[in-house]
Amino acid sequence: MTSTESPQIGASYLIRCVIGGVLMGLANLVPGISGGTMLLAAGVYPAFINGIAEVTTLKFRVQTLIKLAAIVAAAGIAIIAGAGFIKDLVIDHRWVMYAIFIGLTLGGAPVVWKLLRPANLAAWVSCLVGIAVMALMAFLQPGVSDGGDASYLLLFLSGLAGASAMILPGISGGYLLLILGQYIAILSAIEQAKTAVLGDGGPDMAVLIDAMHVFVPVGVGVVVGVVGVSNLVRFLLDRYAKATLGLLMGLLLGAVLGLWPFQHSVEPQVGSVVKGRVVTAEQISEIDREDYPLETFSPSAGQIAAALALIGLGFGTTQLIARVGRSS
């Protein structure tokens, strides 16, 4: 997987780069599915990871730059086009989407397992560590429980998380954004900026500047993450392949612990705290639905059956993409 040998550019391979980029972009919007896993599924992960590592060490080759440009541009377009749609689905149909996210997450496990087997003791220990880390993150839910406004540090960490998901198969950037409490905020900023640029009245600079308070710290985190993680992954996989892949497997499996599907948003009541402020009767109607607090509910038998079916659908989707990638 870490071989520096890179396929020559042909039309079919370039198309696979574009497809992989689109899938990676959509994966970064969808909690539970890894951008790195989607690149693996499309068969362009080695080219991406080696290309990033080359560029960050100031090695510039035309073939490498073309491949990276195809993947990154396709991912960017997918993110811009899909942010508002995905955000609305999560807000309006949370338990349905979370069930799909669980399936998409688990569908990446066989992809990582094929790279890992045969597993040794270091791999199993690392896997347990990864599960424990994700269980702790799901339990603590940093950035969610306090309901406060996002800090630049938290947005920077969110960018770092998103970058890690592009590099690490099995790690979902969208999921990490969820548990950091910045998933809806970042998708909203993307949709807000897109509307400001494409609106009928021309670009709205005030709205764009407001969105920059999100984009700049997130962007810095992405750059730091891509540069650091890509080179770290190459180092670890070259020297500690089994332990590293075991950790990735554990992170992937543990991710589902924070995706309990049966929860929904509820309208805040007078006296409740939203984004660090006590809500008054006059403010309730002004609060956006994306800022409503979440609470769990007891599912009906039909909802449980539907959730299991959706988990199966998500699992099958990731597996189908992986099979297409292997046969390309």
- Residue 47: which residues within 8 A CB-CB, separation 6 or more? 6, 7, 17, 64, 67
Higher pLDDT, 170 or 18: 18
Establish if 117 belongs to a structural domain: yes
328 confidence band (pLDDT: 50, 70, 90): low
Structural domain tally of the chain?
1
What are 1-44's pLDDT values in tens digits? 444 444 456 677 788 888 888 888 887 777 656 777 778 767 78
What is the pLDDT, as a whole number, of residue 6?
A: 46
Domain assignment present for residue 267? The answer is no
Q: What local confidence, expressed as pLDDT, does residue 290 receive?
A: 67
Report which residue type is found at 176: L
* Residue with the larger pLDDT of the pair 143 and 297: 297
Task: Give a yes or no: residue 44 inside a domain.
Answer: yes
Question: Has residue 245 got a pLDDT over 80?
Answer: yes
pLDDT, mean of residues 176-195: 77
Q: Does residue 129 carry a pLDDT above 90?
A: yes
Q: Phi, psi at residue 118, to the nearest 5°?
A: -75, 135
| Model confidence at 250: pLDDT above 80 | yes
pLDDT for residue 242 is more than 60: yes
Q: At residue 144, does pLDDT exceed 70?
A: no
Residue 4 inside a domain? The answer is no
Give how far Cα 38 sits from Cα of 11, 44, 280, Å. Answer: 20, 9, 45
CB 111 within 8 A of CB 37: yes
pLDDT at 35: 78
Of 9-18, 33-42, 274-283, 311-320, give the range with the top mean pLDDT. 311-320
Give the pLDDT mean for 245-267.
Answer: 81
Question: Which whole number is the average pLDDT over 295-312?
Answer: 92
3-state DSSP helix/strand/coil % of the chain, to nearest 5: 75, 5, 25
Q: How far apart are the first and last CA of the chain?
A: 16
Q: Kindly report whether the global pTM for this prediction surpasses the value 0.75.
A: no
Strands 273-274 and 277-278: antiparallel
Q: For residue range 66-76, what is the model confidence (pLDDT) as tens digits?
A: 888 999 899 88
What's the mean per-residue pLDDT of the chain?
78
Q: Is 3 among the domain residues? A: no
In a domain, 289, yes or no: yes
Question: Is 300's pLDDT higher than 90?
Answer: yes
CA atoms within 13 A on the CB side of 249: 23
Q: Percentage of the chain surpassing pLDDT 70? A: 82
- In a domain? residue 244: yes
Q: What is the pLDDT of residue 1?
A: 44
The answer to whether position 5 is within a domain reads no
- Tens of pLDDT, residue by residue over 193-222, are 877 777 666 667 777 787 788 888 888 998
Q: Which domain holds residue 162?
A: 11-262+272-327
pLDDT at 95 over 60: yes
Query: At 307, is the pLDDT very low, low, confident or very high (cuts 50, 70, 90)?
Result: very high
Average pLDDT of the segment spanning 142-156: 59
Contact 119, 240 (CB under 8 A): no
